[in-house]
Amino acid sequence: MFVVISLGGSLIMQEQPDIKYIKELAQIIRKSPHKFGIVTGGGRIARTFAQAARGLGASEFEADEIAIDSTRQNARLMTIALKGVACPHVFTDFEKAYEAAQHYKVVVMGGTIPGITTDTDAALLAEKVGAKRILNLSNIDGVYTANPRKDKNAKKFKKMKYQELLDLAGKSDSRKAGTHFVFDFVACKMIGRSGIETHFINGRNITDLKAAIDGKPHSGTIVRG
């Protein structure tokens, strides 16, 4: 079974790279019987650089380009943590990642082209390698009716259909470099058209993480159907 992980940048790095968490995640991946595609997000660093680039007169395309660099730097950390089981190359191309996936347990990518986010990269990689499951790991423990950090009445979905996630994502997707949204609108379309089951969990909840990798019940949100 091939599992694709969309790894939120906030889990890889806060003020500093979170070496303890990266090691823990790498250990779980090493021990799992599954194969993995990991797509790393850019997190706060990507937002900081995109904002700085705009301050210097960058176009949105250029802001995306600099944010992509941050995602790739995070991807590099993962290839190092997974030395021996992951292909050491940080892929920028789905075809090449697919080829490497035939020989390695793990392939790692960052961003690819401006205009999308690593959620879409993860969905495209999942389509390319034929993965039936995506894990969206972030520091939020599921998909909510509204941003749970801002709205005390926000409720978590246990299960959702693709169309429900698409409707929710459509409300919050401003398509600007380094802006947060629950899941990239385009990625919602991709998982829906290919019927890829997508699990949203807090990546630091190790019990949920292990359960989601195996497609078992957890306290996050499952999107299918």
Shorter beta-carbon distance to ligand UTP: residue 8 or 37: 8
Q: State the minimum distance, in angstroms, from the CB of residue 84 to ligand UTP.
A: 26
Shorter beta-carbon distance to ligand UTP: residue 184 or 197: 184
Tokens of 190: 């991709």
Of 59, 64, 19, 67, the closest CA to residue 43 belongs to 67
Q: State the minimum distance, in angstroms, from the CB of residue 45 to ligand UTP.
A: 9
- 215: alpha, beta or left? (left if phi > 0; alpha if psi -120 to 50): left
Shorter beta-carbon distance to ligand UTP: residue 69 or 85: 69
Distance CA 213, CA 138 (A): 14
Neighbouring CB atoms inside 10 A of 66's CB total 22
Q: State the minimum distance, in angstroms, from the CB of residue 215 to ligand UTP.
A: 22
Q: State the minimum distance, in angstroms, from the CB of residue 65 to ligand UTP.
A: 7
Strands 221-223 and 197-202: antiparallel
Burial class (CB in 10 A: 0-12, 13-18, 19+), 3: buried
Neighbouring CB atoms inside 10 A of 147's CB total 13
Shorter beta-carbon distance to ligand UTP: residue 9 or 142: 9
Q: State the minimum distance, in angstroms, from the CB of residue 176 to ligand UTP.
A: 7
Tokens of 208: 């949920």
Q: State the minimum distance, in angstroms, from the CB of residue 159 to ligand UTP.
A: 22
Interacting residue ranges for ligand UTP, rule: CB under 6 A: 8-10, 41-43, 46, 50, 64, 67-68, 71, 111-119, 121, 138, 177-178, 180
Shorter beta-carbon distance to ligand UTP: residue 17 or 85: 17
Shorter beta-carbon distance to ligand UTP: residue 6 or 216: 6
Burial class (CB in 10 A: 0-12, 13-18, 19+), 127: middle
